[in-house]
Amino acid sequence: MKFIIFNGSPAGANSNTNVIAEAFLNGAKKAGADTENVFLINKNIGHCKGCFNCWFKTPGKCVMQDDMTELLVKYNSADVVCFASPVYTWNMTAALKNFADRLVPLKSPLIVNSDENFDLVDSNPKTQQFMVISNCGFPGNNNFETMKAVFASCNPVLEIYRNCGKLLKSKDSEVKKTVNEYLQAVEQAGFEMATQNYVSADTKLKLERQLMSIPEYVKYIGM
């Protein structure tokens, strides 16, 4: 079983998003899965030109020659694809959105209507599962609403939304203890996904725990 994470944080490997991603992949690795962690910020990915050549002239193939060629192969080779990003302006980062736009060669120009929700048919029947990892700087979960709405279209099997993201790399020993417990739950989620293809309700509950009260957090980040 192969897991691949596409991380859209401009901070790449040093990102808070990657703290969660690494814990998840460690759990999956412990269960024997193959894993790959891609930092989109280090890749050369142009903006989709909207020419639709990848549908009508060279089906499945983009006219642009950049790192997306290699990334589409990686994307297709994975059993579980994870979209990862911090919240930037109530949404995913531009790097992840750009990557998502460039997935258009995997679609075909056929519209499917499911209960008045219109989407495009995949050019190859989808066998993959999808998941999302995100963190945001504010307390509260309202910051994730846009990402939840966008990624609902790929019916994710798991969504890890971590508010109070500034705590993930805290050096305070008390905070570190809480964060480590949280990251153990993330690791467990990776292990469960790799062994049973879903995450138990108990582990999901642990992923949703508050790391700190809102007044404490506001004080902690000095705002």
Ligand X SMILES: Cc1cc2nc3c(=O)[nH]c(=O)nc-3n(C[C@H](O)[C@H](O)[C@H](O)COP(=O)(O)O)c2cc1C
Of the candidates 4, 5, 1, 78, the one whose C-alpha atom is nearest the C-alpha of residue 32 is 1
- Residue 29, Cα to own-chain centre: how many angstroms? 18
Q: Can residue 13 be called a binding residue for ligand X (CB under 6 A)?
A: no
Measured over the CA atoms of residue 95, residue 206, residue 131 and residue 36, the dihedral's sign is: positive
Q: Can residue 212 be called a binding residue for ligand X (CB under 6 A)?
A: no
CB of 165 to ligand X, least distance (A): 3
Please report, as residue ranges, which positions from 107 to 146 form the binding site for ligand X (by CB under 6 A). 135-138, 143
Q: Can residue 37 be called a binding residue for ligand X (CB under 6 A)?
A: no
Of the candidates 63, 87, 83, the one whose C-alpha atom is nearest the C-alpha of residue 141 is 87
CB of 89 to ligand X, least distance (A): 5
What is the pattern of x (binds ligand X, CB under 6 A) and - over residues 150-179?
---------------xx-------------
Write the DSSP string, 37-64.
EEEGGGS--PPP----HHHHTSTT--S-
**72 burial class (0-12, 13-18, 19+ CB within 10 angstroms)?**
middle
Pick 64 or 167: Cβ nearer ligand X: 167
What is the pattern of x (binds ligand X, CB under 6 A) and - over residues 54-73?
--------------------
Q: Can residue 41 be called a binding residue for ligand X (CB under 6 A)?
A: no
Site residues (CB under 6 A) for ligand X? Answer: 9, 11, 15-17, 86-90, 135-138, 143, 165-166
